[in-house]
C-alpha cells in the first residue's frame, strides 16, 4: 500500500470519526416516549391509543360500544349496525 493511499484512508477515518462525534449531541437529545397502557408509539414517536381505546388525558380508556354497534374504520369511534341509527349515545332500530 502506498503512502498516499494510507493518508487517504486515514483522512476518511478521521472524517467519519468527526461526523460521529458531531452527531452525538443530536442522538443523545432524543427523549424517550412514555407509552400508556393500551397504546403504542406511532411512526412519529408519539403515543397513540390502540384500536378500541380513546385518549383520556395521558391514558387510554376503553371505548364503550352501545348495543347494536361496532367499531368504525378508525377504531377510535363507533357506528351503528345495519338497520339501526345513532340516537345520542345509543343505536335504535330505524323506523321507515
Q: Is the model's pTM score more than 0.85?
A: no
In the numeric block, which cell numbers belong to residue 40?
403504542
Say if residue 69 is in the same domain as residue 96. Answer: yes
Q: How many domains does the chain have?
A: 3
Say if residue 24 is in the same domain as residue 39. Answer: no
Say if residue 37 is in the same domain as residue 21. Answer: no
- What is the per-residue pLDDT across 18-77, written as a single tens digit (0 to 9) for each? 555 555 555 545 566 689 999 999 998 889 999 999 999 999 999 999 999 999 999 999
CA atoms of 39 and 59, how far apart (whole Å): 8
Say if residue 15 is in the same domain as residue 39. Answer: no
Say if residue 3 is in the same domain as residue 16. Answer: yes
Q: Which of 74, 69, 30, 29 is nearest to 51 (CA)?
A: 74
Domain assignment of residue 54, given as a range: 32-62
Say if residue 69 is in the same domain as residue 94. Answer: yes
CA atoms of 22 and 73, how far apart (whole Å): 45
Amino acid at each position: 500500500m502506498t503512502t498516499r493511499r494510507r493518508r487517504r484512508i486515514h483522512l476518511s477515518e478521521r472524517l467519519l470519526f468527526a461526523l460521529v462525534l458531531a452527531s452525538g449531541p443530536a442522538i443523545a437529545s432524543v427523549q424517550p416516549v412514555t407509552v400508556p397502557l393500551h397504546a403504542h408509539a406511532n411512526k412519529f414517536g408519539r403515543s397513540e391509543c390502540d384500536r378500541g381505546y380513546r385518549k383520556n388525558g395521558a391514558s387510554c380508556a376503553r371505548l364503550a360500544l352501545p348495543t347494536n354497534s361496532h367499531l368504525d374504520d378508525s377504531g377510535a369511534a363507533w357506528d351503528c349496525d345495519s338497520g339501526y341509527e345513532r340516537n345520542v349515545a345509543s343505536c335504535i332500530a330505524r323506523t321507515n
